[in-house]
Structure 1
Amino acid sequence: MSTSPSPVSSAVGPVRVGQLWQDMAPDMVDRERMLRVLAQTDTHAECVVERDRQGTAGRKARPLAIRRFATSAFKLIEDVVDDADQALYARFLAAMTDVQGANPSPVAYAAAALRVHHELTAEAAKAQG
């Protein structure tokens, strides 16, 4: 039986500065250890422990091989928003915050996102033709 991490979906993109990853090692899952990528080279990522129930938050982790992030050893928790996507992100976020009520339903949020999607699709069609 192999103890090496197994590959996960190739849908996970490249490791980027600013991402938050959960350490999925058996001894780290219960600790909810989360690592934020601070810098990277072609082969390694420099991370800081952002959360750890055992009290190591704020400390730098040892450099981690980039290839390990494409396995089940880590789970992407929070991605970074590219500058090019920032305006689109802001529109979706504004639509989410416009949802009214003390306990808005997931359907209300979905309807707000769908409305923005339709607006963006119409704007793209108008720009092309």
Structure 2
Amino acid sequence: MSSPSPVSSAVGPVRVGQLWQDMAPDMVDRERMLRVVAVGATHADCVIERDKQGTAGRKTRPLALKRFATSAFTLIEDVVDDADQVIYARFLAAMTGVQGGNPSPVQYATAALRVHKELAAEAGNGQG
């Protein structure tokens, strides 16, 4: 039950390790966060990672994957595949290298574009 789900939201498939905020009206104030621990064909198993009412650590009932593609949940933290970890680290280093007290989105995009061009050049030289 750990393969990516064929059901996807705007951010992609539901995957093990993701952290989602429950956006149900009665859960928003509780700041209830759910960590995906298993993904099946139609449902995901989650553990409550944070809840102001003290239910952290408990398992939820299986949640329909299609609900993650709605406004019922907001993706808070995605996972990075092992194969992408090195590339992710390079992008993250470029983003954190942006200087200034209030960096603009353009500065972040420029940093990411620089890494993208480096990776493309490396792939063209047989290095990637």
Under TM normalisation by the shorter chain, which class is it?
0.7 to 0.9
Structure 2: 5+ residue stretches without partners: 1-7
Measure the CA separation in 2 of the matches of 1:13 and 1:97: 24
SS state at 1:84 partner: helix
The Cα of 1:95 is off from its aligned counterpart by 2.5
Moved more, 21-30 or 65-74: 65-74
5+ residue gaps in structure 1?
Answer: 1-8
CA displacement 1:28-61 (0-9 Å, x = unmatched): 1121111000112222211111111222222211
- Number of aligned residue pairs: give it: 118
Q: d(CA) in 1 for partners of 2:46 and 2:9?
A: 22
Indicate which of 98, 103, 106 corresponds to 1:105.
103
Provide the C-alpha distance between the structure 2 equivalents of 1:10 and 1:62, rounded to a whole number of angstroms.
20
Residue aligning to 1:74: 73
Q: Among the aligned pairs, what percent are the same residue?
A: 79
Q: What is the TM-score normalised by the length of structure 1?
A: 0.75
2:10–2:69 Cα contact (<8 Å) kept: no
